[in-house]
Amino acid sequence: MRQEIQLFQQVGDAACKICTEALNFIKFSGEMLGAFADAVRHPRKIHFKNTLYYMDICGSDAVPIVSLLGTLIGVILAFQAFVQLGRYGVQNYVVNLIGTVIVTELGPLMTAVVLAGRSGSAFAAEIGTMKASEEIDALVTFGMLPSRVLIVPKVLAMIVVLPCLTVLANIFGIIGGMLIVCSLLDLTVTEYYFKVVEVVKPLDLTQGLVKSFFFALIIAAIGCMKGFEADRDAQGVGRAATSSVVTAIFLIIIADAVLTSLFSI
């Protein structure tokens, strides 16, 4: 009986924590939208230099890992598709599977998870460190809005960078699939290219880019929110960085499921 009570308490605590996190995210989203509205009214106050800096560290530095993972995902998907479809004698549809799945699902999702781990946690750690060292308090003292200075450049950079990296991941994923398909099937590179172009529709590309846009908002918003919520010590900064990755990936998967169902209607 005592174990059952403890189990119910743990479930209740987890439910309360999830509800609290959801309310905090809604509140922070409102503050972020307010900061963007103010930035639209006063575009000269946007720190474009900081935006370019975050675009560089979030985009340029992530190109090698995104390209490598995209290629490996394409190779793995091609191998598995060839084995499974080969049981039914329809290996010719491997290209259809590779092109559609990578462009609509694996490309955007894999890129978002990578950036959630390297950029979202960096946002949380940076803002958490600034909070611990009272730099955010100094910004308020000087009459500057922390949301405009710290949040807007990061969100803008992520919105621009993530779709571009998604396109790059799609290209390398298709190239990885080409390496396997052209070696296992009687297909030339030219035939593979034209078949991918025939299979991948504009709606598929649009679906992947729309997903990447929402994923970018989630990663940047969660990273900034966890940074502002961090405790004013080293342990608090570490917990904020870890929590930002876990929460962002969780919300990315939920958003992916919702968007996929909407595009399937």
In a domain, 18, yes or no: no
Number of compact structural domains in the chain: 1
What letter represents residue 169's amino acid? Answer: A
Rounded to an integer, what distance in angstroms lies between the CA atom of residue 119 and that of residue 59? 9
Chain center to CA of 101: 17
Res. 30: pLDDT tops 90: no
In a domain, 11, yes or no: no
Rounded to an integer, what distance in angstroms lies between the CA atom of residue 163 and that of residue 254? 19
Res. 3: pLDDT tops 70: no
**Lowest-confidence region among 65-74, 162-171, 172-181, 226-235:** 226-235
Rounded average pLDDT over 153-175:
92
Res. 145: pLDDT tops 70: yes
Q: Quote the pLDDT of residue 259.
A: 92
Domain that holds residue 234: 47-264
Which runs of consecutive H residues, i.e. helices, occur in 42-151? 48-59, 63-86, 94-101, 107-115, 121-132, 135-141, 146
Distances (CA, A) of 18 to 27, 70, 154, 227, 250: 14, 32, 25, 18, 12
Q: Could you tell me the two tokens for 65?
A: 């890992």
Who has greater pLDDT, 40 or 230? Answer: 230
In a domain, 195, yes or no: yes
CA triplet 261, 27, 141: central angle to 5 degrees?
A: 140
Rounded average pLDDT over 199-228:
91
Rounded average pLDDT over 13-38:
77
Q: Quote the pLDDT of residue 12.
A: 77
Instruction: Specify whether the CB–CB gap between 107 and 165 falls below 8 A.
Output: no
Res. 50: pLDDT tops 90: no
Tally the C-alpha atoms within 13 A of residue 89's C-alpha that lie toward its C-beta: 0
The model carries a pTM of: 0.88
In a domain, 37, yes or no: no
Q: Quote the pLDDT of residue 189.
A: 87
Who has greater pLDDT, 146 or 66? Answer: 66
Rounded to an integer, what distance in angstroms lies between the CA atom of residue 57 and that of residue 135? 22
In a domain, 7, yes or no: no
Res. 115: pLDDT tops 70: yes
Q: Quote the pLDDT of residue 111.
A: 94
Res. 1: pLDDT tops 70: no
**Lowest-confidence region among 27-36, 57-66, 159-168, 205-214:** 27-36
Average pLDDT, the chain: 86
Rounded to an integer, what distance in angstroms lies between the CA atom of residue 235 and that of residue 13? 22
In a domain, 26, yes or no: no
Instruction: Specify whether the CB–CB gap between 153 and 126 falls below 8 A.
Output: no
Res. 102: pLDDT tops 80: yes
